[in-house]
A and B are shown apart, each in its own frame.
Chain A
Amino acid sequence: MAADDPKIPQDPTPLVGAATDIAPLTHSGPPPAHERTADEEAGLVDWEGLAASAQFRSLLKAKRRFVVPAMIFFIVYYFALPILIGYARPFMETRVFGPVNLAYLFALSQFFMAWIVAALYVRAAARFDKMAANVVSQSDSRK
């Protein structure tokens, strides 16, 4: 054991708070890719140029054209349920199939509404993925 070696004088400083106890606050080498901060990576890609490119703008536009109406639709459809139940109860108690009333069917339809909107989004997103791939390949070709 090195510490017991009589040739080495004992270190009198306590372990905690000793000057030698302070580890350097930075990495010794360049940080690996996943630890680079945004600042360090800023120079690698021309973000401003990409953001201004026609491809990227049309991707944003296509996304917005799907997402905004979809959000508005599902929010209106969903909040119609508590609003109708709260303020138009007799209408919602109308029976449709045997004992099953409009209130139950409307609540049940919410599940299918959510699934259909999700399915439509997945279909649209396949198109967004292609457009995004175009933007990325454009950045590669510029390097």
Chain B
Amino acid sequence: MTPALGMFLLFVLITLGITYWAARKSQGPAAFFTASRRITGWQNGIAVAGDYMSAASFLGIAGLIAFFGYDGFMFSVGWLVAYLTVLLVVAEPLRNAGKYTMADVLAYRLNPRPVRAMAALSTITVSTFYMIAQMVGAGALVTLLLGSSHVSYEAAVVGVGVLMIIYVVFGGMLATTWVQIIKAILLMAGTILLSLLVLAHFGWSFANFFDAVTRVSYHDKGTLVTKNFLEPGLRYTAANHGALDLISLGMALVFGTAGLPHILVRFYTVPDAKTARVSVVWAMVLIGSFYIMTTFLGFGAATIVGRDKIAVSGGNNMSAPLLAQALAGDIFFAFIAAIAFATILAVVAGLTISASTSFAHDFYTAVIHKGTERRPGEEVRVARVTAFVVGAVAIGVAILLGKDANVAFLVALAFAVAASANLPVIVLSLFWKRFNTSGAVIGLATGLFASLALIVISPSIMKVDPAGTAAAARHLIQHAPIFPLENPGILSIPLGFLGAVLGTFLRRSEPRAEARFAELSVRANTGLGAEKATGE
């Protein structure tokens, strides 16, 4: 058994122990969906960070910086700035006026069945796409990280999937929260250690470090080149509409993070809106520190390991683990690999619980059964079954796609849908009195389908591959892309808002929705009548 496999198993054992504890402790829907709303501010803040920083952040951004220098770092800025929207606009009203899901806030004033049906569709779309991206990444990653233990891609995907189902089905929100907390602490510890080792390598001198970063040599198409990695332009150039694509990505982050269902459900786990605010601040401290330290991870990998070596040892996603290996040997490599594994598990567990909560609460109970549980506890039972089904589907799709599939665009898609479908209707229902059911339904639908359609005709799916590209990595549609940007946000977000506004004016104003506006506004802003913590 390699050290990496040993650490993986240790993490699995600890998290299963937590799940056992959580399963014994939590009874009833409030416990399953919201951990009885008894998570404290700092705990929830760490869990939000754990829910948010996926393997794409830890391994992906370190890799982007190692390969493209400054452009990779610029990419990482938006992930923190996006939390200002969460803090200023969404977190507190949502906690005050909702119960389990984001649709609770919409259904307050509007006709609940059509609105919840569309919101559930959008939530499940965002969560499954994001999850499939994570699962494919997980499978590929685990096989790489455990290379010498001969774990196949399929076995890795099934392992990750089964674990996430166990956490959610048995442990509910409480187990998911603690898996995310442990993962975030591990991730921060690993990142701090790695950053310190990088600085030590350069004699604790920022001057030496940044000097090395200005002279990074690697082979580009066979010729040795030396580039200043602090200068922009290695990835985003005028030729690929770099600036526009970055602006578009920035819009998807700034408006999408506040519409990500798996982040929003976290604010229902705390006792009140003030604690929700405190938890966003905690999350911002962790997330910000982490992304600042990607400077050391990414530039460290570029200067100490080198782009050439990373390219032949598994590609840019392996930058951070390889840096750990170069600086402190195999045990530290194993530790960083185990952190990457923990990262994936925590994120997919969060996605699973948000998808199944939305299906059970919004679709099953509210849409099919008109808002009443037929038997007490039915909603939780349905959520458990959904978690199982969602997990099984994600495993199946990830195995079908195979480990070479290009799935990075699914993350961009998830953010675009969250920004173009969810955020406009949340904001308009909180702040616009005239907003009505038809506006919400049409807004959600426009945002969802505009994002999907724009991704399909973007270079992520539509591109002519050079001859000899491996079958799994080929683009789905062999045609020049119609929409030139990889991130649809710049177009789909205005479309989502436009759909919501036009949809509103299509129908006459709803007297009930307008009458309720006063109530929603008072609730959202004062916390009067908000859901209380339960249990004990």
By a beta-carbon cutoff of 8 Å, the part of chain A in contact with chain B is 23, 25-27, 34, 37-38, 41-42, 44-45, 47-48, 50-52, 56, 59-60, 63, 67, 70-71, 74-75, 78-79, 81-83, 85-87, 89, 92-93, 98-101, 103-104, 107-108, 110-111, 113-115, 117-119, 121-122, 125, 129, 132, 135-136, 139
Partner of A71, one of B73, B89, B242, B516: B89
Interchain CB contact under 8 A, A115 and B519: no
Q: Is the interface of A mostly helix, strand, loop or mixed?
A: helix
Interchain CB contact under 8 A, B83 and A51: no
CA distance A118 to B30 in the complex (A): 30
B contact residues around A59 at 8 Å (CB):
525-526
Q: Is the interface of B mostly helix, strand, loop or mixed?
A: helix
Total A-B contacts with CB atoms under 8 angstroms apart: 162
Interchain CB contact under 8 A, A74 and B519: no
Q: How many residues of B contact A (CB 8 A)?
A: 64
A contact residues around B274 at 8 Å (CB):
125, 129
Interchain nearest-CB distance for B216 vs A (Å): 12
State whether A47 and B519 are in contact (beta carbons under 8 Å apart), knowing that A26-B372, A98-B210 are contacts in the complex: yes
By a beta-carbon cutoff of 8 Å, the part of chain B in contact with chain A is 30, 70, 73-74, 77-78, 80-81, 83-85, 87-89, 99, 108, 207, 210-211, 213-214, 228, 230-233, 236, 238, 242-244, 246-247, 250, 254, 274, 277, 280-281, 284-285, 288, 291-292, 369-372, 374-375, 516, 518-519, 521-523, 525-529, 531-532, 534
Write 23 A-B pairs (CB below 8 A) sorted by A numbering. A23-B374, A34-B534, A47-B519, A48-B519, A51-B521, A51-B522, A56-B526, A60-B521, A70-B84, A81-B77, A89-B232, A92-B232, A99-B210, A99-B230, A100-B230, A103-B230, A110-B77, A111-B292, A114-B81, A117-B84, A118-B284, A119-B281, A135-B526
Interchain CB contact under 8 A, B526 and A136: yes
A contact residues around B291 at 8 Å (CB):
111
Interchain nearest-CB distance for B488 vs A (Å): 16
Interchain nearest-CB distance for B104 vs A (Å): 10
Interchain CB contact under 8 A, A85 and B246: yes
Instruction: Name which of A52, A75, A103, A104 has the most chain B CB atoms within 10 A of its CB.
Output: A104
Interchain CB contact under 8 A, B30 and A101: no
Interchain nearest-CB distance for A52 vs B (Å): 8
Interchain CB contact under 8 A, A78 and B281: no
A contact residues around B371 at 8 Å (CB):
37
Partner of B89, one of A42, A67, A89, A93: A67
CA distance A53 to B533 in the complex (A): 29
Interchain CB contact under 8 A, B231 and A103: yes
Interchain CB contact under 8 A, A48 and B518: yes
